[in-house]
């Protein structure tokens, strides 16, 4: 885990997710069924890091684009890799805090849901994302 600004070649495989919390709940979005990768799965909000962005700046941009909310990035809490279309992706997961009072809007998801930890077991979530979400719940329990 480190702070860096990636160039365009490094960014092709860099993805960021944010654990946004309210009390003991975390916000998840349901991927549209029209998506080719994990359609209908629940996920943490986030997206790809663009050329010359830090992961933190990318995450702030993604939350504004996907949810219309402003955030502060608190700290990185997890990291994992996966393959998509033959390309290795590196996903960094951050704990984030909302800094405005806007209600998140599902601009890039079919649905948004604030969930408790015990609800995750019954949701359609990838194993890597499930691990990241459960780590997120451990982190918010410390706050």
Summarize pLDDT for 36-57 with one digit per residue, the tens.
666 689 999 999 999 989 999 9
Q: How far is CA 56 from CA 31, 82, 94, in A?
A: 22, 20, 8
Q: Which of 56, 57, 79, 69 is nearest to 20 (CA)?
A: 69
Of all residues in the chain, the percent with pLDDT exceeding 70 is 88
pLDDT score at 117: 97
**In angstroms, rounded to a whole number, what is the distance separating the alpha carbons of residues 96 and 2?**
17
Handedness of CA 68, 69, 75, 78 (dihedral sign): negative
- Going by pLDDT thresholds of 50, 70 and 90, the confidence category of residue 9 is very low
Encoding tokens for residue 125? 């979530």
pLDDT score at 32: 86
User: 1 vs 91, which has greater pLDDT?
Assistant: 91
4 pLDDT exceeds 60?
A: no
Mean pLDDT within 27-39: 81
Q: What's the chain's average pLDDT? A: 89
């Amino acid at each position: 885990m480190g702070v860096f600004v990636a160039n365009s070649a490094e960014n092709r495989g860099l993805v960021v997710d944010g654990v946004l919390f309210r009390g003991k709940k975390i916000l998840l979005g349901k991927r549209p069924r029209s998506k080719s990768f994990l359609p209908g799965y629940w996920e943490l909000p986030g997206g790809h890091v663009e050329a010359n962005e830090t992961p933190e700046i990318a995450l702030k941009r993604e939350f504004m684009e996907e949810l219309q909310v402003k955030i502060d990035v608190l700290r990185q809490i997890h990291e994992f890799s996966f393959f998509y279309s033959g390309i290795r992706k590196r996903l960094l997961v951050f704990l984030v805090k909302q800094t405005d009072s806007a209600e998140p809007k599902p601009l890039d998801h079919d649905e948004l849901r604030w969930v408790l930890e015990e609800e995750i077991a019954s949701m359609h979530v990838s194993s890597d994302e499930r691990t990241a979400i459960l780590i997120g719940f451990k982190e918010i329990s410390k706050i």
